Amino acid sequence: MRCTRESLLGIALTFLPQYANAFIRFPCSQLVTERFDPLVNPGSVSPHLHQIVGGNAFNLSMDPNNDLPELSTCTTCRYKEDKSNYWTAVLYFKAPNGTFTRVEQMPNHGTGPGFQAGGMTVYYFQPTPSVKLTAFKKGFRMLVGEANRRRSDDLGVNDPGARALTFRCFDGDVLGGGMPGYGATDSFGFPKAPCSGGIRSTVYFPRCWDGVNLDSVDHKSHVTWPVWNASLAIPFFSANCPSTHPVQLPTLFVEVVWDTRPFNDKSLWPKDGSQPFVFSMGDPTGFGQHADYVFGWEGDSLQRAMDQCPQNTGYPRNCKELTSQDINAMNSCRQALKVPEVSEAKYLDKLPGCNPIQAGPAPATLAPDCGAPSSTINAPVPTASASVITPPWSVDEP
């Protein structure tokens, strides 16, 4: 199926009535690429690189008592009310000579008008059957995935952990069929062959909350997946939360589209038949994909959107409770690099933080100190125009 604007809308209308009551969907440009992870490594430079989107109050510690909407002067997301932060690992291409260059992100289908600069697409779903949702609260944060995971054979086919973080190989402008994580071409690990239209990463976050804790020691235990419901093939949208985590949250879902097109020449791929992409934590399998979230919506704006925007297309213009901003405002909201190191726009001898390639199946371990920068500096906010990529599909809304 070719991903025309009509077919994209058709896919949404076909699948959503079965799995979700409604949703909002919007693009977020990249704020900064930095070795920061204020959930796992608060107050210190992270061992590996992340690409971050959202409000420009993002910082090394992210004190949960801070009011992100008050501290942020802009956001890279389409909706001005969303000053949250979302971040994932960065993808690199390993060249035949052993050097690494960053793989850039490109705009997703139907995220226009205009081309966002890198970043990701964010969704907030209402499950089916429709239930009263409780929006995330100030100070709420969570993560999904395990950066040190290097195997998948310990996960069952119905285990949410095997479906929550997957990849889809795009063939030119072909979107592919099925809901993310369940499509015929989706995989838990990196695709094994060149993808002419790039690779899409998809991430579902848990949606059942204990109703008390805004965070937990592992940043996971205060939330969990819905109870398996055999009548609903995709459990991420189920309204059946366990008694230990009874509060229904929106289903948060993000997509990142990696522009792997410059690296599709098979002569550049390893001669042993393996694939050449690696995550910034030294993961050549893709099993270590992970994502983090810190809530930062203004006031009750997210709750209003969940209550008052029962749309089944997700286009920003259709949610009148929220304020859309143009692509220039999104792309110009940027943050200065604070770790003095080069991470992109050239081939690197080592991954930032000197992460060694660890293919497993044993869990990855932290690399010994290699002299990589571990402190921050003051630097000016970039003023040059953000780099944008033209994808092989239309980004315009129908």
Q: What is the DSSP string of 137-184?
A: -TT-EEEEE-TT----TTS-TT-HHHHSEEEEE-BTTB--SSSTTTST
User: For position 35, what pLDDT does the model report?
Assistant: 96
User: Is residue 383 a part of any domain in this protein?
Assistant: no
User: At residue 239, does pLDDT exceed 80?
Assistant: no
Name the region of 11 (left: φ>0; alpha: ψ -120 to 50; beta: rest).
alpha
Distance (Å, rounded) from C-alpha 217 to C-alpha 239? 26
User: For position 297, what pLDDT does the model report?
Assistant: 98
User: For position 1, what pLDDT does the model report?
Assistant: 38
The whole-angstrom distance between residue 119's C-alpha and the CA centroid of its chain comes to 8
User: At residue 40, does pLDDT exceed 90?
Assistant: yes
User: For position 312, what pLDDT does the model report?
Assistant: 73
User: Is residue 384 a part of any domain in this protein?
Assistant: no
What is the residue range of 82's domain? 5-332
Distance (Å, rounded) from C-alpha 193 to C-alpha 173? 17
User: For position 18, what pLDDT does the model report?
Assistant: 62
What is the average per-residue pLDDT within 36-58?
96
Dump strand ranges (E) for 277-334.
277-279, 290-294
Neighbours of 63 (CB within 10 A): 11
User: Is residue 175 a part of any domain in this protein?
Assistant: yes
Alpha helices, DSSP H, located in 156-279: 160-163
- DSSP class of residue 27 equals E
User: Is residue 345 a part of any domain in this protein?
Assistant: no
Residue-wise pLDDT tens digits, 288-319: 999 999 999 999 999 999 988 877 778 888 89
User: At residue 16, does pLDDT exceed 90?
Assistant: no
What is the average per-residue pLDDT within 189-209?
95
User: For position 173, what pLDDT does the model report?
Assistant: 79
With cut-offs at 50, 70 and 90, classify the pLDDT of residue 13.
Answer: very low
User: For position 368, what pLDDT does the model report?
Assistant: 76
User: Which among 27-31, 185-189, 344-348 has the top mean pLDDT?
Assistant: 27-31
Number of domains in the chain: 1
What is the average per-residue pLDDT within 325-349?
95
pLDDT above 70 covers a percentage of the chain that reads 93
User: Is residue 337 a part of any domain in this protein?
Assistant: no
User: At residue 25, does pLDDT exceed 70?
Assistant: yes
Residue partners of 331: CB distance under 8 A and separation at least 6: 29, 76, 116, 117, 385, 386, 388
When comparing pLDDT for 303 and 174, which is higher?
Answer: 303
User: For position 236, what pLDDT does the model report?
Assistant: 82
User: At residue 144, does pLDDT exceed 50?
Assistant: yes
Distance (Å, rounded) from C-alpha 139 to C-alpha 344? 32
User: For position 5, what pLDDT does the model report?
Assistant: 41
User: At residue 17, does pLDDT exceed 70?
Assistant: no
User: Is residue 209 a part of any domain in this protein?
Assistant: yes
User: For position 159, what pLDDT does the model report?
Assistant: 78
User: At residue 333, does pLDDT exceed 80?
Assistant: yes
When comparing pLDDT for 379 and 15, which is higher?
Answer: 379
User: For position 369, what pLDDT does the model report?
Assistant: 77
Q: Which of 256, 155, 252, 153 is nearest to 201 (CA)?
A: 256
Average pLDDT, the chain: 90
